[in-house]
Structure 1
Amino acid sequence: MGEATLRPVRGGVGGDPLGEFEVGYVGLDGIEHRIPLAGAWSVRFERGRPARRFPQYKGQKHFPGRWWTATMGHHVGYESWLERDHLMLLDFDPDVVAVASQPFWLFWANEQGKARSHAPDYFARLADGGARVVDCRPVERIKPKDAVRFARTRAACEQVGWDYRVVGAPDAILVRNVRWLAGYRHPRHDLPAVVAALRRVFAEPGGLLAGAEAAGDPIAVLPVLFHLLWRHDLHTDLSTPLHPDTVVTAAVAR
């Protein structure tokens, strides 16, 4: 079954006790739903289907694609390289346990009573049961109408207790480091004997390459080391470029 999409239309269900917003989404079974905002806080958007398709046309400037998430074990879509980078960072974030792309339509009426809508880029389920809604847009590309949509989305998220963020370009060094580690995010790199050796070696902080050599053949050990850094079982400072002498530790950084 193909991805269903919801269109911004007038009307919809009534009786929203919060009064301003409705939410439209597509369940895993492909059925479309439109509900009051008050009922949306309990919806598992991370288990549904995208509420809108990514447009594809000749000459488009965006680069849509799909990212395999280690967090969920399947692909999640992105509509631009900026979205890809933030999707990767959500996948890397230990506080995120699930993520969905284009999770829902938010509907409201403007001051003139005209129907308006917005589909955020991502919905992330957090380990504590909360949620984070994300829109990706460089500050210099936020037009007045976009600012209104983002402001209304923030207001809706605040009403149901969700964190809402509008994010631009992330730190370039962090992205490069995490992208490197992401190459080793697949669980095939979880080799128990090597994992145990690395945990012993890095019980005390030490250099990345020296530690890999102490744990065994670096050719075999380094992929596991990078996997453990991705998984946050080993820790290092990712605000500076990774290099052979990067200090790694098994202790949680404080």
Structure 2
Amino acid sequence: MRVVAGARTAQLTGYELVFIDSDGSEARCSLPEAAGIGFEHVAPVRSIPSYQGQRNNPGFYWAATMAAHVEFESWLERDEAMALDFDAEVTGFAAQPFWLFWPDAGRVRSHAPDFFARRADGTGIVIDCRPADRVRPRDEAAFTATERACAEVGWSYRRVSGHDLMWLANVGWLATGIPAIWSNRLRRN
């Protein structure tokens, strides 16, 4: 989903979200309207490509919390999906839950956060996963805009750049029952 900047800039005065509704159609809402939407149950707004030779490792994680597969685009996103799945306060989460659009210097910018999670108390968390050494200025601007939007709607925002390796080994073993994968990964780091 991309927006043609010229036609939309005049109309877009604040944040706007685009997501996939329960009937599979594209839905749009303003930021204030977004507070009442169950983004933890939406389908991803974009597909994650998979091709031979790519740098990242996409796949699906079976989330017990959701009793469904959750798509991930990298090992870091897979690790965060596990973290969400093992967090007792999280009642649901979804990958690539919405496109966030905002005006920026005469054009419209967009960003699809990696996850939306719902806590047991009803609050929302928006999560972006990116190793610190791979954050470019354009990414930083998108993360900052996303954090501002979250503050406006009353959600938390979290940027994940990695997890504690011992914790990850333990959770990975609990999630998969295959400790060799995790111990090999620990040795490489």
Provide the residue aligned with 2:142 in structure 1: 149
SS in 1 for 2:116: strand
Question: 1:145 & 1:131 partners in 2: Cα distance?
Answer: 25
Question: 1:91 & 1:62 partners in 2: Cα distance?
Answer: 22
CA deviation profile, 1:122-178 (whole Å, cap 9, x unmatched): 000110000110000111111001000000000000000000011111000000011
Provide the residue aligned with 2:71 in structure 1: 77
Displacement of 1:9 after TM fit? 3.8
Provide the residue aligned with 2:156 in structure 1: 163
1:94 aligns with 2:88: yes
SS in 2 for 1:68: strand
Displacement of 1:13 after TM fit? 11
SS in 2 for 1:128: coil
CA deviation profile, 1:196-236 (whole Å, cap 9, x unmatched): xxxxxxxxxxxxxxxxxxxxxxxxxxxxxxxxxxxxxxxxx
Provide the residue aligned with 2:113 in structure 1: 120
Provide the residue aligned with 1:60 in structure 2: 54
The runs of at least 4 aligned residues of structure 1 exceeding 6 Å deviation read: none
Q: Is the 8 A contact 1:12 1:34 kept in 2?
A: no
Q: Is the 8 A contact 1:26 1:50 kept in 2?
A: yes
**Relative to structure 1, is the Cα distance of residues 12 and 23 closer, same or farther in structure 2, using a 3 angstrom cutoff?**
farther
Note the 1:162-181 alignment, pairs <5 A.
162-181=155-174
Provide the residue aligned with 1:108 in structure 2: 102
Q: Name which structure has the greater RCO, CA cutoff 8 Å, separation 6+.
A: 2
Q: Is the 8 A contact 2:15 2:31 kept in 1?
A: yes
Question: 1:173 & 1:76 partners in 2: Cα distance?
Answer: 23
Question: 1:139 & 1:21 partners in 2: Cα distance?
Answer: 26
TM-score for the superposition, normalised by structure 2: 0.88
Question: 1:95 & 1:12 partners in 2: Cα distance?
Answer: 38
Q: Is the 8 A contact 2:114 2:129 kept in 1?
A: yes
From 2, 19, 22, the equivalent of 1:25 is 19
Q: Is the 8 A contact 2:45 2:97 kept in 1?
A: yes
Q: Could you tell me which runs of 5 or more consecutive residues in structure 2 were left unpaired when the two chains were aligned.
A: 178-189
Q: Is the 8 A contact 1:27 1:47 kept in 2?
A: no
TM-score for the superposition, normalised by structure 1: 0.66
Query: What is the letter of the counterpart of residue 101 of structure 1?
Result: A
**Relative to structure 1, is the Cα distance of residues 13 and 60 closer, same or farther in structure 2, using a 3 angstrom cutoff?**
same
From 153, 161, 175, the equivalent of 1:182 is 175
Query: What is the letter of the counterpart of residue 21 of structure 1?
Result: Y
